[in-house]
């Protein structure tokens, strides 16, 4: 299990996540190289924790990350935090609306929703509420690790993505999935507000990037924005509004 380079500053690691019994889903973690260190984006599920730690150590010459950013706190994105933070005592950072699902102050199962699929599906996945301290709360439009924080709510209340301007890469979390070579919105079973999730996809399509790096499925290099706009039925005009 090794990280692979996808752009000049970004590497990815795909690990399996057992969703229900024999049904598994690939989930991707990213390492972002800065001048003086590394930033890890998401942690994977807990069952992959030791393998992820070994892969991070190999990719960073044993240094480990300087910080961990979460796109959101779902089980398959935050479950590996324990193993990683045991190996390296580093700060944990997420959006302010996602922090309660990490600290244990709230849970996804407690969320109200008009999406019947979510109301049923929330009982099919393990809860989070790990009881970890969040060291920094993000707001949209902030900059860190050479990236801009993009607010992408809908799938979860505080999901964010990270736009790496130098690499023109959009790390989009679960806002867009690319399974079996097909773009799709996040699963309705795990999305608290599908209408808001669609708006987040449309917001992504307005931004200036070439490479679309989802958390589920293969990256789309060079043509990421074009593929997203095509999926959404939008034109290919280059009026990049850059709304965050």
Which fold would CATH assign to domain 4-232? Metallo-beta-lactamase; Chain A (3.60.15)
Chunked mean pLDDT (size 10), the chain, 244 residues: 97 89 86 95 95 98 97 96 96 97 94 94 85 95 96 98 98 96 94 98 96 97 96 72 45
Q: What is the pLDDT of residue 241?
A: 47
Q: Crossing angle, helix 224-232 and helix 194-204, to 10 degrees?
A: 140
Q: What is the pLDDT of residue 244?
A: 43
Kindly state the DSSP code that residue 220 receives in the 8-state scheme.
B
Q: What is the pLDDT of residue 36?
A: 87
Kindly report whether the global pTM for this prediction surpasses the value 0.75. yes
Specify the DSSP element, H or E, that contains 203. helix 194-204
Q: What is the pLDDT of residue 126?
A: 84
- Identify which of 172, 157, 159 has the alpha carbon closest to the alpha carbon of residue 207: 172
Q: What is the pLDDT of residue 239?
A: 47
Residue 16, Cβ neighbours under 10 Å: how many?
Answer: 15
Q: What is the pLDDT of residue 18?
A: 80
**d(Cα 195, Cα 133) in Å, to the nearest integer?**
31
**d(Cα 244, Cα 239) in Å, to the nearest integer?**
15
Q: What is the pLDDT of residues 114-124, one digit of tens each?
A: 999 999 988 87
Q: What is the pLDDT of residue 237?
A: 57
């Amino acid at each position: 299990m090794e990280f692979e380079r996808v752009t000049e500053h970004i590497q990815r690691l795909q690990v399996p996540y057992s969703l229900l019994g024999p049904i598994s889903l690939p989930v991707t973690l990213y390492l972002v190289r800065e001048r003086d260190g590394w930033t890890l984006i998401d942690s994977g599920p807990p069952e992959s924790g030791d393998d992820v730690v070994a892969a991070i150590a190999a990719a960073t010459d044993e240094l480990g990350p300087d910080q961990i950013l979460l796109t959101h706190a779902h089980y398959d994105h935050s479950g590996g935090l324990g193993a990683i933070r045991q190996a390296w005592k580093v700060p944990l950072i997420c959006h302010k609306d996602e922090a309660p699902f990490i600290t244990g102050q709230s849970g996804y199962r407690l969320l109200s929703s008009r999406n019947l699929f979510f109301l049923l599906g929330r009982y099919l996945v393990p809860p989070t509420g790990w009881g970890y301290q969040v060291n920094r709360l993000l707001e949209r439009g902030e900059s860190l690790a050479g990236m801009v924080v993009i607010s992408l709510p809908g799938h979860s209340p505080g999901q964010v993505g990270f736009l790496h301007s130098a690499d023109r890469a959009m790390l989009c979390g679960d806002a867009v999935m690319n399974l079996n070579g097909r773009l799709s919105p996040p699963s309705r079973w795990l999305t608290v507000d599908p209408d808001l999730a669609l708006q987040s996809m449309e917001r992504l399509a307005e931004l200036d990037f070439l490479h679309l790096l989802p958390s589920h499925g293969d990256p789309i290099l060079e043509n990421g924005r074009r593929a997203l706009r095509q999926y959404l039925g939008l034109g290919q005009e280059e009026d990049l509004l850059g709304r965050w």
